[in-house]
Structures are given as C-alpha cells and as structure tokens.
Structure 1
C-alpha cells in the first residue's frame, strides 16, 4: 500500500502538475495576484480543519507554506531557493484549482489528492519549512510590532508598495 507522500510524488510527476509549475513561475512575478491567490488558499485550507489529526497537521504546515511564499514575495524572507518557492506555489495552485486529478466536488476523494501532493511537498522540503518557521518565530515581532506576523495577511496596499503587479 502506498503512502500519501508516495501518491503525492506520483501527482508531482504528472503533466497536469507541470502546468501548475508553469503558472506558479509566472505568478511569482506578479506579487499582487500571488497574494490574492495565497489568501484564497489559506481560506480553503482553514475551512477544512477538523482537530489536530495528521491531516490537520498537514494543513497547518501548508498554511506555513502560504506564509513562506507571502514572505518571499514581500521580500522579508529570501533564505530559500526560488525553485522551492515555485514548487510550493504550484502545490498551492493545485490545491486551489477545482480542476485536478480528482475534482474537489467528489466528497473526501476530492481533497485526498490535494493532501497527497501536500504530503509529498512537506516531505521533500521539510528542512526549508522548518527553517522558515524558526525564522518566523524569531522575526514576528520585528516585522509587525504588536501583531503576529504569521497571521497578518498582506493587504493590496502592502503589495502595491512592492512596485509590482
């Protein structure tokens, strides 16, 4: 029997996922659109939480990936390879997309392929995710005094300050 991560690896090698990799690479150059998409993914993942089982833990890690990509886009965190950010963004696009290998409208199975791909990504990039999480904990108060940086979404005005979009 294959694990979620094995199934995610298989999805990551699928031609459909390569389409998401291309979209992610283009989206990385458009911070405003990327942040709007990140907010949508965070909302979708948050609505799927149901306690702290292993699926909820994966969702928590992917919410960390949302913050990682957001921090990369706004320039506050660059201690990561661009390719890793593109892969993370592609996984997030896949999760958000209603068109994937198993459509999301199919109860339970529709989210299982998303979780498989998330599991693969987390396994492959665990070190980078952990390093970002440590950075996030030590820099949260420096980034946004009086607010927890990890939970503060970038506003369109904050993205506009980046000079892109």
Structure 2
C-alpha cells in the first residue's frame, strides 16, 4: 500500500514539474534526453552523475529482462513492480532533462549577454 502511494506521489510531482509555468514542456524534455545522456557520459553535465545514469540503465535492464524480483504471473503484484520501476525511471529522466534544458538555456543566455 505504501509503495502505491509513493509511486502516485512521484508521478504527481513529475506532472506538476512538467506543467509548471516557465518550465520546459514535455516534448522539449523528451528531445533533450539523448543530449543530456551524451553530456553526462562526456562529463559535461555535472547535474547528473554517472552513478545515477548507471542506476537508470539498471532500471531499463530490469524492465526488459524476463527475470523479475516479483514474477509477472502473480498478476497485479508482478506487474506493479515493473510499473513502479517505469514510473521512477520516467520521473527521473523527465525531471533531470528539465533541469538540463534550463541549464542549456542559461548557458545560451550567458553567451548572448557577453556579446
């Protein structure tokens, strides 16, 4: 029961962040994910460490792996753990990509201010 509440709270927090006025819109965040991942791998974006990136990678592997902590044949419980990992992964990626887009905007604005 507690895990459901935590997943719902994380989904609501992500929704509020994505829809906040002045915040990068959803599709801008989605398109920024590959740039953000590349910047993290090159060490050009300190906002997200390689450890968190590795944890997200493990989340992806868990989602596509046929091996689960809670087997899917246990109906709702088995699917719920996958859904929880999916929600965490999406919330993390969308939240972090929003911060990355804001950073990109600040860097561009800083360069324009120098000119």
State the TM-score bracket (shorter-chain normalisation).
0.3 to 0.5
TM-score, length of structure 2 as denominator length: 0.44
Q: Which has the higher helix share?
A: 2
Q: Rg larger in 1 or in 2?
A: 2
